[in-house]
Amino acid sequence: MLRNRWVLGLLVITLGIKFGDGWAAEPKEPTKVTEDEATPSDKAAEKSDAAKDEEYYELYRVFSETMFQVEQNYVKKVDRRKLMEAAIRGVLEELDPYSNFISPEEIDRFKTSVESQFGGIGIQITHENGELKVLSPIVGSPAYLAGLEAGDTIVQVDGTDTEGLALDEAVKKLKGEPGTSVKLAVLHARTGRRETLTIERKIIEVETVLGDARGDDDSWQFMLDPEKKIGYIRLTSFSRSTAQDLENALKKLKHEGVKGLVLDLRFNPGGLLKSAIDVADLFIAEGRIVSTKGRNTIERPVEARKPGTFEGFPVAVLVNRYSASASEIVSACLQDHKRAIVVGERTWGKGSVQNVIELEEGASALKLTTAAYMRPNGHNIHRFPDSKETDEWGVMPDKGYELKLPDSELGDLVRTRRDRDLLLVSHSPGIKRDEDSKDAEASKDVSQGKDAAKKPLKVPPGAHSPADPPKKFVDRQLKKAVEYLLERQQVAQAKVDSK
């Protein structure tokens, strides 16, 4: 009986896969063909379809019987859902490295990575010697405004002691619906003072557009060299807000008289296709940005639009072996249109597009590769499993600007950038701190109100331990990009002087 239920269930799945495309189609009047009118080719096609249906049935029958035997006779009792999820993952692993199944346990984290926003207090945390420590407050977040600083110890969350509390559990307790509150008992690192804070959660938007250093107000400064007017913008991923935030940064640089820009896409794994298109569109006025083509779709070229284009200054794009997908779309587009030179090393080589399909009414999801994209010149970007170093894939730096960093230097670069992302000492504006207070459980309410909770806040990405003052590090790839921009300045000035 049980086995029959398995077979019946799998037959339903089979029919869904076989005829699923027709469910959303407009119903059509069937063409009536008599047996006498049917051609040999029609009969062969019908026979072929029948054979395929039989093959589907047989394959799913084998699968259902296997599942039945495992569930009934395996030496230990097994979880049916885990078996099914493992089977789904096994199917997707046969396709490519980028198609996968997102389980209900993973769906919230996946949505956060895609949407780049979540409900919380805006804080990065870690475990250190069994204690829950603050890595860095988020600029402008509820935690930042409450006066939390790097190194502070969170002793309790809503009355629960954090000693021995798993990091994932702590994160779950701190996150929540915007407008709700969380109560923290905090031991401040600088003063040794303990206080209780009631902090209202807000929508925290992960910041993907970063500068080189922070200003006095903790905001990012995008002018790398104020004297030479060289700007610097780093994109950590491509989220829904990346293009708009980049546009705002470019407007600020334009107002400050920028004469050259470094666009840093190193370690950027990609993100949303639309975000990449919008970012590229900020730099080119016309022409193709990218084209995509899938098995069931025609080729779709995407063209640039003139309004909103930032022109009049040279651009150098920094990439490395970890720049992938959307990063490659942008760097290839700017390179093909001669809008920028590419500096660094060959990129990862991911030229495929994944579509996210909701399953179980949104409780889980399927990320499936549905299309491939080509750069404006029509060349390939994707690195296939059998691709060689001599094959065409990825985005290559411009001639004379290839500079591959050894692993040791790459590690120094990561650490240096990480340290710049963190706020080791928060300014905590608007918070009056009574350092001499003898009240060990001083209580403070820093609720911002329900309307404020709806407004997104910008967040530096990642979660890293506060580091010692960074040692002097020379970013050779950045230096090479700046040298190019200064050369272009000299050439432009020479032309002006000769007139």
Burial class for 278, CB neighbours closer than 10 Å (0-12, 13-18, 19+):
buried
Which residues are designated catalytic?
A: 325, 336, 350
Half-sphere exposure of 465 (CA within 13 A, CB side): 7
Burial class for 281, CB neighbours closer than 10 Å (0-12, 13-18, 19+):
buried
- β-pair type (315-319, 260-264): parallel
Task: With CA atoms as reference, report the closest residue to 238 among 18, 444, 461.
Answer: 461
Paired tokens of 278: 């919008």
Task: With CA atoms as reference, report the closest residue to 271 among 462, 100, 115.
Answer: 115
Q: What secondary structure letter does DSSP report for 469?
A: S
- β-pair type (260-264, 194-200): unpaired
Paired tokens of 135: 């890595």
| C-alpha to C-alpha distance for 195 and 440, rounded to whole angstroms | 6
Amino acid making up residue 451: D
- β-pair type (340-344, 315-319): parallel
Contact 299, 290 (CB under 8 A): no
Instruction: Report the chain's C-alpha Rg in angstroms.
Output: 28
The phi and psi torsions of 137 (rounded to 5 degrees) equal: -80, 155
| C-alpha to C-alpha distance for 285 and 26, rounded to whole angstroms | 40
Amino acid making up residue 381: I
Length of the chain: 499
